[in-house]
Structure 1
Amino acid sequence: LNGRKTSLVFDDYRSEPFNVSGGIDQGCPLSPLGFICYNPDVLRIANPHPRKGELSLGFLDDVALAANGKSYEE
């Protein structure tokens, strides 16, 4: 990844570009293998004992966590 840069974008904020020192290129054929090896543990750590109204999903290169409750604290 020599010479690669990225920036972070959140709502109206954009960081200054910074060097990328690790990882693999988007579209690399190794990406699905990395997802298969790494993301199941991420889903288990994020929600180890799902209860009614909680959901953890992983598909291709996306992960989503959702919960339903009467209040934010619930």
Structure 2
Amino acid sequence: MLEASDAAVVAFGHQPNGCFWEALVRFAWPDTAEHVDCDSEAGMFCAVGKSSDAARASSRAPRQSAVRALRA
């Protein structure tokens, strides 16, 4: 079963793969993306950085309610 975020991406006609999520991070959080190294592959999103950068990105991530609104 797809996660809610993956299902929302598919509903909009995109493939929720590692490259997609990496591009989204670079688009939505460019200030955080410049502090992490990404090594994504087709089936995996990978970002390596400081825990403080991860906490900052996590605090700005869309919540499940936002994902549900996109799907509606």
TM-score, length of structure 2 as denominator length: 0.32
The structure with more radius of gyration: 1
| Structure of greater relative contact order (alpha carbons < 8 Å, 6+ residues apart) | 2
TM-score, length of structure 1 as denominator length: 0.31
User: Which structure is higher in helix share?
Assistant: 2
